[in-house]
Structure 1
Amino acid sequence: MSIYGYIRVSSDKQSVENQRYEIIRFCKTENIKISDWIEETISGTKSINKRELGVLLKKINKGDLVICTELSRIGRSLFMIMEFLNICLSKECYVWTIKDNYRLGDDLTSKILAFAFGLSAEIERNLISQRTKEALARRKSEGGVLGRPKGSNILPEKNRLYKKINTIDKLRKPKMSLQKIAKRLHVSRSTLSNFLKKISNQ
């Protein structure tokens, strides 16, 4: 059995020491010891998969325990928290929080919660998908154009490089490579090359 202490702060200005102190003090009262610490400085709105928390979820096994000070350390949305707890419970891991005083494990209450979390997460995903489809349908019915504006890939005047034609001409006179010119203009070489082709075809 591995015991993980999870700490998250949203900025460098916030100290991790307060959370670490609370977890260590809690472990002493429970007579347990942290096997490994997971610390990260990242917004709680970031996807779990893009965080160290996602790495932890892949690593935990049956019987492992994750301890954090409170559920808000997991994420800033109910959906994200439910997703995390659902994965932990489906792997038969334990999740304990100190301030919230949650003890989620293999008991009946936790299994009921796991079902509720999973169902809620699925409902939330469906609602998000439905809202997106409705928004796109409404925009289309109102005459809105979906995707990039028509002509943005056809008319050179629509390209942000159009205003920099003179600069491009000056850079090309010393036979500077397209790669270097693109780098100076902060665009990719292919973007610059396509723009020049459109200009020459006019």
Structure 2
Amino acid sequence: MSRKKKQAGDPAVVVAYLRVSTDEQAASGAGIEAQRAAIDAAVEHRGWVLLDTFTDAGVSGKSIIGRPALADALATVESGAAGTLMVAKLDRLSRSLLDFASLMKRAQDRGWNLVALDLGIDLSTPAGEFLASVMASAAQWERRIISQRTKDALAAKRASGTRLGRPSTLPAPVRQRIRLERAKGRSLRQIARGLNDDRVATGQGGRMWHASSVRAVLPPQGSVEVVASSSQC
């Protein structure tokens, strides 16, 4: 049985979303009353109807997660009871460009309108839709830049010999055994087989060694390590 798509709400019926963090309660232009006044004026000017107002007070805008009033506002427009979610300032909705781009796509996919008064974003107008697409492209660029920076940082750590991932709890004698056997020319599989035969636990408490888990104990290729001989142990 096919599911019926929910009827989109009337774009002229608005829900307002207001937000302040603790340190912004009295900030000029960011307070609750200033946001409310801007939205009331915009709704009246456009001849729209304000259905309800949802407020998150003392909540950070770094993420859209963990904001109950925003969740209620989104539920209202997505139920079809209203057709537009309006904020006075873009950063009241989110300080993250990636989060805002995600919300814009969600609005477009589900048939409701999103308005941010300070930037003139209004998905119901050609100009607003164009600006939304520009911001979505900027968000994609930011996502790629963050990803590239992360890759570059990890590559630099590997090049310097820094071991990544969870720290191993493998006892020093076991690490020494693996490195000595590798220095003597034994293959990774041979070393793993010997450890399994001797029932030596892995660094994370597992019972089975593999070539990959043996390789993880060894120093990165290209790094210099002094391995003590068995007579020195």
Q: What's the TM-score bracket when you normalise by the shorter of the two chains? A: 0.5 to 0.7
Tell me the amino acid that sits aligned with residue 90 of structure 2.
Answer: L
Indicate the residue corresponding to 1:94 in structure 2: 113
Secondary structure at the residue paired with 2:50?
coil
Secondary structure at the residue paired with 1:150?
coil
Distance 1:109-1:27 versus aligned 2 partners, 3 A rule: closer
Indicate the residue corresponding to 1:10 in structure 2: 21
CA deviations 1:16-75 (Å, max 9, x no partner) are 233223323433333333212221131111x21332435544552477111211112122
Distance in 1 (alpha carbons) for counterparts of 2:75 and 2:151? 32
Q: Does 1:60 align with 2:77?
A: yes
Distance 1:67-1:119 versus aligned 2 partners, 3 A rule: same
Secondary structure at the residue paired with 2:162?
coil
What is the aligned-residue identity percentage? Answer: 28
Indicate the residue corresponding to 1:48 in structure 2: 64
Deviation (angstroms), 1:90: 3.6
Indicate the residue corresponding to 2:138 in structure 1: 120
Check conservation: 2:83, 2:112, Cα contact below 8 A: yes
Indicate the residue corresponding to 2:160 in structure 1: 142
**2:46 pairs with 5, 30, 33, which one?**
30
Tell me the amino acid that sits aligned with residue 8 of structure 1.
Answer: R
- Which structure: greater helix fraction? 1
Q: Does 1:85 align with 2:104?
A: yes
Structure 2: tracts of 5 or more residues without a match:
1-9, 26-30, 173-204, 206-233
Which range is displaced more, 70-79 or 10-19?
10-19
Distance in 2 (alpha carbons) for counterparts of 1:103 and 1:122? 18
Secondary structure at the residue paired with 1:106?
coil
The structure with the largest alpha-carbon Rg is 2
Structure 1: tracts of 5 or more residues without a match:
156-193, 195-202
Q: Does 1:130 align with 2:166?
A: no
Distance in 1 (alpha carbons) for counterparts of 2:14 and 2:67? 19
TM-score normalized by structure 1? 0.60
Tell me the amino acid that sits aligned with residue 155 of structure 2.
Answer: A
Check conservation: 2:18, 2:36, Cα contact below 8 A: yes
TM-score normalized by structure 2? 0.53
Distance in 2 (alpha carbons) for counterparts of 1:121 and 1:32? 30
Secondary structure at the residue paired with 1:131?
helix
Indicate the residue corresponding to 1:109 in structure 2: 127
